[in-house]
Amino acid sequence: MGSEMVAKIVNLFNLCLTAKEHGVPIWFQWSPHCDLINVFTYKEDWADIPPGETSDLEFSYYICIDFEDANDQIAAVEQDILALIKKRSEG
């Protein structure tokens, strides 16, 4: 994994933190043994989901860093996160 990809991953993680500041919880999971990132969020606030129940996902991305579509996947999840931040900011 090159330094450019590392920078993209760090930027994506920072965007997830920014989303949380705007009330949009985004889960960011890194699996270093297979260079896989999972980024997802629920349609409803996770705190409103009763214990033992599940909720529908707003989106979920499994990004394999070694796959040739990794850059496109990172760009797509960034757009989805920014759209959720905007939606939350508008009320």
> Beta-carbon neighbour count of residue 84 at 10 Å?
19
pTM of the model: 0.88
Q: Going by C-beta distance under 8 Å and a sequence separation of 6 or more, which residues neighbour residue 35?
A: 1, 64, 65, 66
**Which residue would you say has higher pLDDT here, 82 or 56?**
82
Over 70: is that where the pLDDT of 46 sits? no
Contact 46, 55 (CB under 8 A): yes
Q: Which residue is it, tokens 């796959």?
A: 67
pLDDT, mean of residues 42-65? 84
> Mean pLDDT, the chain, as a whole number?
91
